[in-house]
Amino acid sequence: MLRVPYADLYAALHRTMQHLGLKGDRAALCARLFAEATRDGVYTHGLDRFPRFSAMVRNGSIDVNAEPERITGFGCIERWNGHRGPGNLNAHAAMQRAIALAKQNGIGAVALANTNHWMRGGSYGWQAADQGLFALCWTNTLANVPVWGSAAPTIGNNPLIIAIPRPQGHVILDMAMSQFSYGTLAAYTKRGTPLPVPGGFDSQGNLTTDSAAIEASQRALPIGYWKGSGLSLVLDMMAAMLSGGLATHQFPLDPLHETGLSQFFLAIDPANLASAAELTHIADEILVNLHHAPPIDPAKPIRYPGEQVLKIREENLRLGVPVDPELWRQIGATS
Amino acid sequence: MLRVPYADLYAALHRTMQHLGLKGDRAALCARLFAEATRDGVYTHGLDRFPRFSAMVRNGSIDVNAEPERITGFGCIERWNGHRGPGNLNAHAAMQRAIALAKQNGIGAVALANTNHWMRGGSYGWQAADQGLFALCWTNTLANVPVWGSAAPTIGNNPLIIAIPRPQGHVILDMAMSQFSYGTLAAYTKRGTPLPVPGGFDSQGNLTTDSAAIEASQRALPIGYWKGSGLSLVLDMMAAMLSGGLATHQFPLDPLHETGLSQFFLAIDPANLASAAELTHIADEILVNLHHAPPIDPAKPIRYPGEQVLKIREENLRLGVPVDPELWRQIGATS
């Protein structure tokens, strides 16, 4: 594994985005969102995702110059059309608009239709929390998980992000509705180690920790079985209905043509409701209690969602950000 | 099992609420919420829950005459204090206020502190959907689930409700963060049948479908393992921080003294954003597709959350609502 300075990673991605046709601030922000995901250890949705992003620009799924447009609104909720622009730029703009609405109204929301994969969903949680706001957001996806009771892919893994601002470290939940992504399943298969918990069904319909068997059956498990299956459905319904956009069943099963997604962004500004001291006190007391829970494995202390990100971020800024050498060579060559 | 006409069930509960000290419309609404949960098949949070409700009135945890009070607000979000009144009345008032705010602003939210168990959480989803609004709401609870990585109860099962209005039948997700409630585990133990999927750990730390072993270890499983554990935490944090109320770690582990809960209610009015025809069309297309998923067991067609409730409701209104004969005798005797 190669480690490169964050500034070099950002600079290479920035040049690459410009080569792909992104202009000015948009190239800079798109590169920053990719670079930050990599810096924070979300490699699958950072640099490693760039080849697919680039392929989708080339095949026309992503229009690098399309900008999101406000279609309508009422009070503190608006509908936007992403015009199939870069998903991370559209999502960032939608969350920023939800934040602006929340600063005026306490709450703000944007339902975004016709967009693309937002890469790391957690980015938009960090975005809101860095500005002192709570946030919830989610996206639909193509059908990559069987609905509970069927073996056929019917629902998306529809990541849900919930962000809680906190001066000493935000709490950021970034959670897909499948127990494991297919990327994670492939990594276990490559290593030849069983999953830590059942991750799906084999082709005979038995729950299994054998990742290869799940890759073969394509029957990944929704979290909590019927519960995550239901949660995935209602997130898809809300995103599509509120945005007026497409739903999971309308996307082709080819990830390179998974475009026109629907997303929902909600921000809550607590500034006019409670003092910063009160909010921090309540959050800190909860997390102190959490950290006091005795771990089963003493080597694995209890952590809150997002806690590990700060450790990885610090390490990657200090030691350099891990990159795939071959991918880094390609990016360097084209940039 | 005894079946009684819905009107008789409601009338008996109404008289009983009056005997407990609830006045006028409050006795009627409290009785209706209990009766409707029973009518809809949520027996654990309907009539069967009345003895615990009654005990908590007697031990002072619930103040039957306390009314919720608006503490502060900004734009479309408000903080309320439930003053430890009946949890279902407080929750109903909070959701109704969120609905009123949403009708004016597109979105409305109420963070409610110092309340009591809301009985069936789905009630407040149906309440919003019956008025044409989307809703999300959740409550915290006492610590009844180990946080992921620990064997000690640290997080609540914090039910989350998401409601989607639809003329031909609302979609209502009503989902606790534990895979099975202790009530459900007890029912499996009584019947002597294994759980359909692993529901927790035995005392040796092995995942098990043996409900009695989980009752003994008190290590119920959060949905999706680490994922539901994280989701439970952030729901507790948001409810406590936004309401200024108590968090899971502050409640005694005795259910009869589980009072002072924090809850969050969010309503979204789509009426000024989209036509009813567009909303219905998108929802219906999603559900038609869902129903087309081939079931693994032909006797178990794929259902959306809330679909079964309408069937049970119709059957219970037609045949009578099932009640525990002994409980029915007691209620009849005191009313």
pLDDT tens digits for range A255-285? 999 999 999 999 999 999 999 999 999 999 9
Residue B54 lies in a domain: yes
Residue B322 lies in a domain: yes
Within 13 Å, how many C-alpha atoms sit on residue B328's CB side?
Answer: 17
Residue B274 lies in a domain: no
What tens digit of pLDDT does each residue of A66-108 get?
Answer: 999 999 999 999 999 999 999 999 999 999 999 999 999 999 9
Q: Which two tokens stand for residue B239?
A: 């409810």
d(CA A54, CA A186): 22
CATH number, domain with residue A105: 3.30.1370.60
Cβ distance A144 to A220 under 8 Å? yes
Q: How far apart, in Å, are the Cα atoms of A45 and each of A28, A53, A311?
A: 17, 10, 18
A80 shares its domain with A44 = no
Residue B16 lies in a domain: yes
The pLDDT score that the predictor gives to residue B183 is 86
Residue A294 lies in a domain: no
ipTM reported for the complex surpasses 0.85: yes
Amino acid at B29: L
Task: Give chain B's domain count.
Answer: 1
A137 shares its domain with A243 = yes
* Interchain CB distance below 8 Å, A154 and B234: no
Cα of first residue to Cα of last residue in chain A, in angstroms, is: 21
Among B71, B76, B179, B292, the strongest candidate for a mutation testing the A interface, having the largest count of A CBs within 10 A, is B76
Total CB pairs under 8 A between chain A and B: 255
Can you tell me which residue has the tokens 């009072």?
Answer: B259
A86 shares its domain with A130 = yes
* Domain boundary residue, one of A256, A273, A290: A273
The pLDDT score that the predictor gives to residue A25 is 98
A37 shares its domain with A184 = no
**pLDDT per residue as tens, chain B (335 positions):** 899 999 999 999 999 999 999 999 999 999 999 999 999 999 999 999 999 999 999 999 999 999 999 999 999 999 999 999 999 999 999 999 999 999 999 999 999 999 999 999 999 999 999 999 999 999 999 999 999 999 999 999 999 999 999 999 999 999 999 999 988 999 999 999 999 999 999 999 999 999 999 999 999 999 999 999 999 999 999 999 999 999 999 999 999 999 999 999 999 999 999 999 999 999 999 999 999 999 999 999 999 999 999 999 999 999 999 999 999 999 876 55
* Interchain CB distance below 8 Å, B107 and A223: no
A107 shares its domain with A119 = yes
CATH number, domain with residue B39: 1.10.1530.10
A80 shares its domain with A143 = yes
Can you tell me which residue has the tokens 């995702």?
Answer: A49
A173 shares its domain with A148 = yes
Residue B66 lies in a domain: no
Q: List, as ranges, residues 149-208 from A with C-beta within 8 Å of B.
A: 149-152, 154, 160, 162, 164, 171, 173, 175, 179, 197-198, 205, 207
The pLDDT score that the predictor gives to residue B1 is 80
What tens digit of pLDDT does each residue of A168-214 get?
Answer: 999 999 999 999 998 899 999 999 999 999 999 999 999 999 999 99
pLDDT band, very low/low/confident/very high, at A296 (cuts 50, 70, 90):
very high
User: Which residues contact residue B53 at a Cβ distance below 8 angstroms, ignoring those fewer than 6 apart?
Assistant: B34, B62, B86, B119
pLDDT at A335 over 60: no
CATH number, domain with residue A211: 3.30.60.50
A124 shares its domain with A156 = yes
pLDDT at A334 over 80: no
Residues from chain B contacting residue A98 (CB–CB below 8 Å): none
The pLDDT score that the predictor gives to residue B182 is 86
A111 shares its domain with A99 = yes
Can you tell me which residue has the tokens 């959060």?
Answer: B222
- Which ranges in B178-298 belong to alpha helices (H)? 182-191, 211-217, 226-243, 276-292
The pLDDT score that the predictor gives to residue A183 is 86
Residue B6 lies in a domain: yes
Query: Which residue range(s) make up the domain with A215?
Result: 179-221
The active-site residue out of A14, A45, A117, A170 is A45
A142 shares its domain with A186 = no
d(CA A122, CA A162): 8
Q: Among residues of chain A, what percentage have pLDDT more than 70? A: 99
pLDDT at A1 over 90: no
The pLDDT score that the predictor gives to residue A333 is 61
Asked if B45 is an active-site residue, the reply is yes
The pLDDT score that the predictor gives to residue A97 is 98
A157 shares its domain with A246 = yes
d(CA B239, CA B261): 9
pLDDT at A249 over 80: yes
A100 shares its domain with A152 = yes
Residues from chain B contacting residue A99 (CB–CB below 8 Å): none
Strand A145-146, strand A134-139: pairing:
unpaired
Residue A278 lies in a domain: no
